[in-house]
């Protein structure tokens, strides 16, 4: 093999390596700062989100976190009531949870007989389902009133009687919010072993 052919092969290998490295860096940047995929593992958000739904999370809407700090820059807006957010589980930061924002810093939140009140007004929640007619006290169906501290968020699942949420483990720190869920890109029904085609491309709200 001539020296020129060897140099040509080396050049090709280097070009491929550059392309692969660039693609990996872009993928890492996109996953870290722009969009991240998330799979629904439990039924706490039924009927809005089903087990087996795969969705995309908008990671820049609430700001971009500065590496190795809790500070964010380029904040377009803060989490608002009714947003469906993905966040670090406060009890174990190795796990990501997804719930709906019920109240934010400064709000007074309470529940009376399965009805949620924020600042004294009952919420209109057409997305919520109840699967248990019993009225339980001490957290699930009756709690509060509680004032949400500044910089914190109170979240709950739409499958209200089957959700492990702020009623049990407290508030979410705003800095731990990863992003807002915005679209379903895939959905697999493990019971029927088939794709839920009617859910693909659906906006999440």
Domain architecture of the chain: domains with CATH: 36-199 (2.10.109.10)
- Residue 122 is predicted with a pLDDT of 98
Provide the sign of the torsion angle of the four alpha carbons 82, 83, 86, 90, taken in this order. negative
Name the residues annotated as catalytic.
Answer: 44, 99
**Between 108 and 72, whose confidence is greater?**
108
- pLDDT bucket at 63, cuts 50 / 70 / 90: confident
Q: Which tens digits make up the pLDDT trace of 2-40?
A: 666 666 666 667 666 665 665 555 445 445 556 789 999
The residue written with tokens 């020129």 in the block is: 4
Nearest CA-CA partner of 95 in 42, 29, 156: 42
Global confidence as pTM:
0.82
Q: Please give the structure tokens belonging to residue 130.
A: 């109840």
- pLDDT bucket at 156, cuts 50 / 70 / 90: very high
Among the ranges given (20-24, 26-30, 128-132, 134-138), the one the predictor scored with the smallest mean pLDDT: 26-30
Q: What is the average per-residue pLDDT within 32-50?
A: 88
- Residue 150 is predicted with a pLDDT of 96
Distance, CA of 89 to CA of 2 (rounded, Å): 60
């Amino acid at each position: 093999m001539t020296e020129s052919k060897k140099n040509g092969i080396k050049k090709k290998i280097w070009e491929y390596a550059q392309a692969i490295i660039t693609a990996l860096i872009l993928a890492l940047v996109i996953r870290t700062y722009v969009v991240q995929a998330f799979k629904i593992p439990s039924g706490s958000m039924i009927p809005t989100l089903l087990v087996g739904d795969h969705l995309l999370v908008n990671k820049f809407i609430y700001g971009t976190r500065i590496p190795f700090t809790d500070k964010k820059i380029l904040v377009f807006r803060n989490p608002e009531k009714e947003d469906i957010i993905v966040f670090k589980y406060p009890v174990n930061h190795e796990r990501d949870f997804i719930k709906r924002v019920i109240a934010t810093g400064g709000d007074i939140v309470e529940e009376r007989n399965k009805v949620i009140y924020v600042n004294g007004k009952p919420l209109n929640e057409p997305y919520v389902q109840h699967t248990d007619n019993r009225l339980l006290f001490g957290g699930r169906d009756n709690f509060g009133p509680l004032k949400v501290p500044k910089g914190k968020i109170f979240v709950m699942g739409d499958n209200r009687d089957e959700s492990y949420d702020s009623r049990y483990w407290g508030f979410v720190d705003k800095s731990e919010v990863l992003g807002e869920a915005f679209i379903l890109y895939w959905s697999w029904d493990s019971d029927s072993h088939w794709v839920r085609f009617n859910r693909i491309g659906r906006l999440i709200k």
